[in-house]
């Protein structure tokens, strides 16, 4: 039998159900590989011992009706996990152990999944390279000293390196799709309201959404089916009829109309991104889709809008980390002094930068010019998509304006870092589903991704297009295990 | 009558030199919503629990915790709005008011800023000089903060989060109040309406009702508003009145000295009876209000509002009108009886139990006289009255049908206090029944006249004052039980 860790989630489930392999064997394989892959720094907290124990428990009393029968899964360290440390990649939550479970992870455990560990990420999910994590940089298994993308960088790295069969990330401006694109994996950001935000450390509440990350499209459909649920504990959760995404999955997309937005052809975009996109259009045509040119006129305003709305919400969401109730507390002469010291020591540079930006744009005298204006532009961006969807069923764009860059290459240039999100943020602002699938490589052989954006709640069409194109593209990562001695 | 002002009883004017100032007051009342659970969590709101025992993960703002609106609190706010004859807004929005404080776990208070749940309304005050309407600007829902305790530990501040997240209604009046008396009447009326509705218990000792008081002064007759100062978080009517009087005089003094009033937030020091500057307008917090992205706008249908309207009980103003019309009592008496819903209930029950031959005058007098005195003495509410409405009605009926005299009734009333005893039983056991048998009374009076022959003669010779002496003797001889009316009649006849 081939290496267990190289199997897809679908294959693992099949093998376990057919009793060809046990949950414990699967857990052991991923743990063993994870132990050998510490150089990637993908994990913040390992849950290996407990995972082995739970996998044995599963094998002793297996339930094959579950959707994730005895499958070990590592998750981004932004999901609160009961009795397991949850840091959000921040010093301020360095020793925080929740007494509760996020709805999304609970859904996974309810279907037989077992927690393998907590994966590194940018601090409070603020970053595009995983370089803002208090727990250090994460290596991209594609090549040494290459960033894995962010903020779900630990997730994309662990996934591409076969340290976990699938994983979940969160996506506020591209934090699932961009790292997926950088690591040659699949990442889906569902419609806002599809997955509960309950128990996920908040970054920007109106944009945050959890989603699956996997090695292929089918696996994402299986995982989405598990994690997407209506949740009364999240007032923004939406009660819509959810598909059986994996069983409804089809490669037949004949006659589906796919829009190509001209505004995504941005200045200075590398030629290889342009040609990837063209190739993607051809693949889509090959799959039977009809290609239609569309316009999303307010696209160029998306990035500045995002960098007002997200920091504004973040500045308020992060006010609770004040040293009073939990997490890091530095001692101070007075309450204010304690606040200042705690937050100075507890937060990293990028988080502080965004708190400052957010505080500024909400300040009296600036609110109308920034926050209110941004909210209006956000509506216009949404309307762009609404109008486009009168003509098309989905939209095809590149996932990122470049392939993965070197660690340290952009960490001193926030604006160039922010530009990474240029194709992904409009999707969050409009609350739409979007997937990134690997579609080719650049001159360095680094993966490049294509993004398929769907109508609200129409994850199925997004998955179907991705599933169909995936077959035509037939992309395979070339991972050399360079980090293992 | 030119030039002569009729002095209204509740008017409050400040005279300095040749200037007469009036005070302009607006109140922001914070009323705790009567609800078993908090505004955005299911924690209990019970008063007086051990510190930090009624705190959920949401209340303590743990990472990833989200607020979920408590529908009951929304209903309570709408009902209160209806009670204030106010516009209920079909759409309102929860905002975050951002500031750091140890007892504010989220680092922001969820409140309503631009779009409150209730808009303009009004409240009618019964003042000695007549009715006065006070405008309501708005009512919005918001979370309470926790409590910082500075005086238990010498070096640390302790925080109790039991109150954190409890639902408050902030009721903002228009600057329509003109005197401490009106403030008193306004707070009492608000409290009365909310207690009728069951939306706020109005308990000021437990902090269920507090107010920020906005005070400015101006020359009487002027229509411009002066610069106002806001006195924060005053928790009794008495303190509100004291604070207003101090603050208004302070402002008048400043104006008289040709100085300007700074718009600022002030605190009332109850021990020194003065207001002190807390922060100036320049130092005012920038709360960075913005719509809470964790909560969708609150949308309320007309159907929902209509349903709640149908559940609204008779409110004090309507009840007062009905008492006057139906029971023929005076407006003054009606005002007293309806001011508290429990008093009104008690009164109505007494009326019902009195039956056909009811005597409203006696009922009103016994409740507002004897019973109120007892409640005052014992410092208890009428709901805890030691005498039930049923037994008080019996007592009144015993007076009305002549079984006992008013004087004996007072004795019986005292005896009833000890365990709500049926007055009929007391009358029988103690033999306190009024002697109304004319023959027995005649015999008794004959004896008294016989024993006091000389006085009887003096009376006949014109010393009419002696009549009282004979009445007294007769009552004394009967042990107080003699029917005074009959005694009078018989004495007149015999003397």
Give the span between the Cα atoms of B241 and B235, in whole angstroms: 11
Q: What angle do CA A16, A461, A276 make, to 5 degrees?
A: 95
Closest CA to B59 of B163, B142, B189: B163
A317, A372, A375: best to mutate for the B interface, most B CBs within 10 A: A317
Cβ neighbours, 10 Å, residue B222: 12
Q: If you search the block for the tokens 């360290």, which residue do you land on?
A: A77
pLDDT value of position B455:
85
With an 8 Å Cβ cutoff, is B149 touching chain A?
A: no
Number of domains observed in the structure of chain B? 3
Overall average pLDDT of the A451-476 stretch: 98
Identify whether the C-beta of residue A328 lies closer than 8 Å to the C-beta of residue A91: yes
Identify whether the C-beta of residue A121 lies closer than 8 Å to the C-beta of residue A77: yes
Q: Is residue B1 part of a domain?
A: no
Q: Residue A184, Cα to own-chain centre: how many angstroms?
A: 13
pLDDT value of position A236:
98
Q: Are residues B245 and B369 both part of a single domain?
A: no
Overall average pLDDT of the A371-377 stretch: 97
Nearest CA to CA, how far is A310 from chain B (Å)?
Answer: 11
Domain boundary at B410, B430, B450, which?
A: B430
Alpha-carbon distance values, A235 to A451, B93, B169, B325, B328 (Å) = 29, 13, 21, 50, 54
Give the containing element (helix H, strand E) for A15.
Answer: helix A9-17
Q: What angle do CA B63, B68, B72 make, to 5 degrees?
A: 145
Q: H/E/C letters for each residue in chain B?
A: CCCCCCCCCCCCEEEECCEEEEEEEEEEEEEECCCCECCCCCCECCCCCCCCCCCCCCCCCCCCCCCCCCHHHHHHHHHHHHHCCCCECCEECCEEEECCCCCCCCCEEEECCCCCCECCEEEEEEECCEEEEEEEEEEEEEECCCEEECCCCCCCCEEECCCCCCEEEEEEECCCECCHHHHHHHHHHHHHHHHHHCCCCCCCCCCCEEEEEEEEEEECCCCCCCCCEEEEEECCHHHHHHHHHHHHHHHHHHHHCCCCCCCEEEEEECCCCEEEEEEECCCCCCCCCEECCCCCCEECCHHHHHHHHHCCCCCHHHHHHHHHHHHCCCHHHHHHHHCCHHHHHHHHHHHHHHCCCCCHHHHHHHHHHHHHHHHHHHCCCHHHCCCCHHHHHHHHHHHHCCCCCHHHHHHHHHHHCCCCCCHHHHHHHHCCCCECCHHHHHHHHHHHHHHCHHHHHHHHCCCCCHHHHHHHHHHHHCCCCECHHHHHHHHHHHC
Among residues 67-86 of chain B, which lie with CB inside 8 Å of chain A? 67-69
Q: Is residue B17 part of a domain?
A: yes
Give the containing element (helix H, strand E) for A257.
Answer: strand A257-261
Q: Are residues B254 and B283 both part of a single domain?
A: yes
- Give the number of A-B residue pairs with CB atoms closer than 8 Å: 96
pLDDT value of position B3:
34
Chain B partners within 8 Å of A339 (Cβ): 100
> Of A78 and B411, which is predicted with more confidence?
A78
Q: Are residues B250 and B339 both part of a single domain?
A: no
Picking from B64, B289, B290, the nearest residue to A202 by CB comes out as: B64
Q: Is residue A158 part of a domain?
A: yes
Q: Is residue B224 part of a domain?
A: yes
Nearest CA to CA, how far is B201 from chain A (Å)?
Answer: 29
Q: Is residue A179 part of a domain?
A: yes
pLDDT value of position B7:
46
Q: Are residues B65 and B184 both part of a single domain?
A: yes
* Residue of A67, A76, A189, A455 marked active site: A76
Closest CA to B232 of B251, B202, B211, B217: B211
Q: pLDDT at residue A45 above 70?
A: yes
Cβ neighbours, 10 Å, residue A367: 18
Q: Is residue B4 part of a domain?
A: no
Tell me, yes or no, if A22 is annotated catalytic. no
Sign (positive or negative) of CA dihedral A263, A264, A269, A273: negative
Q: Is residue B5 part of a domain?
A: no
Give the span between the Cα atoms of A382 and A384, in whole angstroms: 5
In three-state secondary structure terms, A304 is helix
pLDDT value of position B148:
93
B42, B62, B63: best to mutate for the A interface, most A CBs within 10 A: B63
Number of domains observed in the structure of chain A? 1
pLDDT value of position B462:
83
> Of A267 and B164, which is predicted with more confidence?
B164
ipTM of the complex: 0.97
User: How far apart, in Å, do the first and last CA atoms of chain A sit?
Assistant: 24
Q: What angle do CA B92, B98, B100 make, to 5 degrees?
A: 150
Q: Is residue A317 part of a domain?
A: no
Q: Is residue A378 part of a domain?
A: no
Q: Is residue A363 part of a domain?
A: no
Q: What is the full per-residue pLDDT of chain B (495 aa) written as tens digits?
A: 333 344 457 889 999 989 999 999 999 999 999 999 999 999 999 999 999 999 999 999 999 999 999 999 999 999 999 999 999 999 999 999 999 999 999 999 999 999 999 999 999 999 988 899 999 999 999 999 999 999 999 888 899 999 999 999 999 999 999 999 999 999 999 999 999 999 999 999 888 999 999 999 999 999 999 999 999 999 999 999 999 999 999 999 999 999 999 999 999 999 999 999 988 777 778 999 999 999 999 999 999 999 999 999 999 999 999 999 999 999 999 999 999 999 999 999 999 999 988 999 999 999 999 999 999 999 999 999 999 999 999 999 999 988 888 888 999 999 999 999 999 999 888 877 777 778 888 888 888 888 888 888 888 888 888 888 888 888 888 877 788 888 888 888 877
With an 8 Å Cβ cutoff, is A324 touching chain B?
A: yes
**Could you list the residue range(s) of the whole structural domain that residue B478 is in?**
438-494
Q: Is residue A308 part of a domain?
A: no
Nearest CA to CA, how far is A283 from chain B (Å)?
Answer: 39
Of A227-236, A374-383, B154-163, the range with the lowest mean pLDDT is B154-163
Picking from B60, B106, B295, the nearest residue to A319 by CB comes out as: B106
Q: Is residue B3 part of a domain?
A: no
**pTM (predicted TM-score):** 0.91
Q: Are residues B262 and B362 both part of a single domain?
A: no
In DSSP terms, B232 is beta-bridged to B267
pLDDT value of position B8:
55
Alpha-carbon distance values, B346 to B233, B336, B393, B483 (Å) = 33, 12, 10, 30
Omega of the bond prior to A151 within 30 degrees of 0, cis? yes
Q: Is residue B326 part of a domain?
A: yes
With an 8 Å Cβ cutoff, is B91 touching chain A?
A: no
Q: Are residues B122 and B154 both part of a single domain?
A: yes
In DSSP terms, A259 is beta-bridged to A292, A395
With an 8 Å Cβ cutoff, is B286 touching chain A?
A: yes
Tell me, yes or no, if A76 is annotated catalytic. yes
Give the span between the Cα atoms of B61 and B31, in whole angstroms: 23
**Could you list the residue range(s) of the whole structural domain that residue A213 is in?**
4-263+269-296+383-473
Domain boundary at B430, B451, B480, which?
A: B430
With an 8 Å Cβ cutoff, is B27 touching chain A?
A: no
Q: Which residues contact A46 (CB under 8 A, 6 or more apart)?
A: A34, A116, A117
Q: Are residues B126 and B155 both part of a single domain?
A: yes
Q: Is residue B264 part of a domain?
A: yes
Give the span between the Cα atoms of B309 and A279, in whole angstroms: 64
Domain boundary at B309, B326, B354, which?
A: B309
Q: Is residue A47 part of a domain?
A: yes
pLDDT tens digits for A137-194? 999 999 999 999 999 999 999 999 999 999 999 999 999 999 999 999 999 999 999 9
Interchain contact, B290 vs A232, CB within 8 Å = no
CATH code where residue A445 lies: 3.90.1300.10
Give the span between the Cα atoms of A40 and A34, in whole angstroms: 9
Q: Is residue A305 part of a domain?
A: no
Chain B partners within 8 Å of A100 (Cβ): 57, 62
Closest CA to A243 of A457, A420, A16: A457
Q: Are residues B456 and B381 both part of a single domain?
A: no
In three-state secondary structure terms, A188 is strand
Nearest CA to CA, how far is B279 from chain A (Å)?
Answer: 17
B282, B288, B295, B297: best to mutate for the A interface, most A CBs within 10 A: B288
Closest CA to A114 of A175, A171, A56, A155: A56
């Amino acid at each position: 039998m081939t290496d267990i860790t190289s199997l897809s989630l679908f294959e693992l489930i099949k093998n376990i159900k057919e009793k060809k392999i046990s949950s414990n064997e699967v857990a052991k394989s991923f743990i063993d590989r994870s132990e050998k892959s510490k150089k990637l720094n993908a994990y913040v907290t390992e849950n290996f011992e407990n995972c082995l124990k739970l996998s044995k428990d599963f094998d002793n009393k297996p339930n094959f009706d579950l959707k994730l029968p005895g499958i070990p899964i590592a998750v981004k360290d932004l999901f609160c996990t009961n009795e397991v440390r949850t840091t959000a990649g921040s010093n301020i939550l360095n020793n925080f152990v929740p007494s509760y479970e996020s709805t999304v992870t609970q859904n996974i455990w309810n279907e037989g999944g077992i927690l393998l560990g907590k994966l590194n990420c940018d601090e409070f999910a603020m970053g595009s390279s995983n370089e803002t994590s208090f727990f250090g940089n994460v290596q991209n298994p594609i090549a040494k000293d290459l960033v894995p993308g962010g903020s779900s960088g630990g997730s994309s790295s662990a996934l591409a390196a076969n340290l976990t069969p699938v994983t979940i990330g969160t996506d506020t401006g591209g934090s699932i799709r961009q790292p997926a694109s950088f690591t040659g994996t699949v990442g889906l950001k569902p419609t806002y309201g599809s997955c509960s935000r309950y128990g996920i450390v908040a970054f920007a509440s109106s944009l945050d959404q959890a989603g699956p990350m996997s090695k292929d499209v089918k696996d994402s459909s299986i995982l989405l089916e598990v994690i997407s649920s209506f949740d009364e504990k999240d007032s923004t959760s939406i009660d819509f009829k959810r598909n059986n995404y994996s069983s409804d999955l089809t490669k037949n997309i004949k006659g589906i109309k796919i829009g190509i937005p001209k505004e995504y052809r941005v200045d200075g975009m590398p030629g290889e991104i342009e040609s990837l996109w063209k190739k993607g259009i051809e693949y889509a045509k090959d799959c039977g889709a009809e290609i239609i040119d569309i316009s999303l006129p307010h696209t160029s305003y998306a990035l500045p809008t995002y960098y007002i709305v997200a920091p504004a919400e973040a500045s308020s969401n992060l006010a609770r980390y004040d040293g009073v109730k939990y997490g890091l507390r530095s001692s101070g002469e007075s309450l204010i002094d304690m606040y200042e010291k705690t937050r100075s020591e507890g937060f990293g540079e990028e988080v502080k930068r965004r708190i400052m930006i957010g505080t500024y744009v909400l300040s009296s005298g600036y609110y109308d010019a920034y926050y209110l204006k941004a909210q209006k532009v956000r509506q216009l961006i949404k309307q762009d998509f609404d109008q486009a969807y009168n003509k098309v069923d989905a939209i095809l764009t590149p996932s990122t304006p470049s392939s993965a860059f070197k660690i340290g290459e952009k960490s001193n240039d926030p604006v160039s870092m922010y530009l990474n999100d240029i194709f992904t943020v409009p999707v969050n602002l409009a609350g739409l589903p979007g997937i990134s699938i690997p579609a080719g490589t650049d001159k360095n052989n680094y993966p490049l991704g294509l993004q398929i954006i769907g109508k609200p709640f129409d994850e199925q069409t997004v998955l179907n297009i991705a599933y169909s194109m995936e077959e035509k593209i037939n992309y395979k990562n070339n991972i050399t295990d360079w980090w293992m001695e | 009558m030119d030039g002569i002002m009729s002095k209204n009883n509740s008017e409050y004017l400040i005279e300095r030199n040749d200037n007469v100032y009036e005070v302009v007051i607006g109140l922001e009342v914070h009323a705790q919503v009567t609800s078993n659970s908090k505004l955005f969590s299911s924690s209990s709101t019970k008063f007086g629990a051990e510190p930090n025992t009624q705190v959920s993960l949401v209340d303590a703002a743990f990472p990833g915790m989200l607020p979920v609106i408590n529908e009951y609190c929304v209903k309570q706010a709408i009902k209160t709005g209806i009670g204030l004859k106010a516009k209920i807004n079909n759409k309102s929005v929860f905002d975050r008011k951002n500031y750091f404080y140890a007892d504010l776990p989220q680092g922001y208070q969820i409140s309503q800023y631009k779009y409150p749940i209730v808009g303009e309304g009004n409240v009618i005050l019964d003042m000695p000089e007549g009715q006065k309407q006070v405008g309501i600007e708005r009512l919005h829902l918001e979370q309470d903060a926790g409590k910082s305790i500075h005086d238990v530990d010498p070096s640390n501040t302790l925080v109790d989060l039991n109150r954190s997240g409890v639902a408050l209604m902030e009721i903002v009046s228009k600057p329509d109040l003109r005197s401490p008396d009106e403030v008193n009447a306004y707070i009492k009326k608000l409290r009365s309406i909310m207690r009728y509705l069951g939306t706020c218990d109005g308990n000021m000792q437990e902090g269920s009702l507090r107010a920020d008081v906005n005070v400015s002064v101006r020359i009487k007759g002027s229509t411009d508003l002066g610069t106002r100062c806001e006195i924060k978080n005053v928790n009794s009517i008495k303190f509100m009145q004291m604070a207003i009087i101090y603050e208004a005089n302070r402002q008048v003094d400043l104006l008289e000295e040709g100085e300007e009033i700074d718009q600022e937030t002030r605190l009332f020091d109850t021990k020194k009876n003065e207001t002190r500057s807390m922060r100036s307008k320049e130092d005012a917090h920038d709360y960075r209000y913005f719509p809470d992205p964790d909560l969708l706008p609150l949308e309320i249908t007309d159907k929902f509002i209509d349903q709640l309207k149908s559940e609204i009980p008779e409110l004090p103003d309507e009840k007062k009108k009905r008492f006057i019309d139906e029971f023929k009592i005076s407006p003054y008496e009606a005002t007293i009886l309806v001011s508290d819903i429990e008093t009104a209930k008690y009164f109505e029950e007494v009326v019902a139990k009195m039956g056909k031959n009811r005597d409203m005058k006696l009922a009103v007098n016994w409740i507002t006289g004897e019973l109120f005195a007892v409640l005052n003495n014992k410092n208890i509410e009428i709901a805890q009255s030691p005498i039930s409405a049923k037994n008080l009605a019996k007592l009144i009926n015993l007076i009305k049908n002549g079984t006992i005299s008013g004087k004996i009734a007072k004795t019986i009333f005292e005896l009833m206090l000890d365990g709500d005893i049926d007055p009929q039983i007391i009358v029988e056991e103690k033999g306190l029944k009024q002697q109304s048998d004319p023959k027995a009374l005649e015999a008794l009076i004959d004896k008294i006249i016989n024993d006091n022959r000389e006085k009887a003669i003096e009376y006949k010779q014109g010393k009419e004052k002696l009549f009282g002496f004979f009445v007294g003797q007769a009552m004394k001889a009967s042990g107080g039980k003699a029917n005074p009316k009959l005694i009078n009649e018989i004495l007149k006849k015999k003397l």
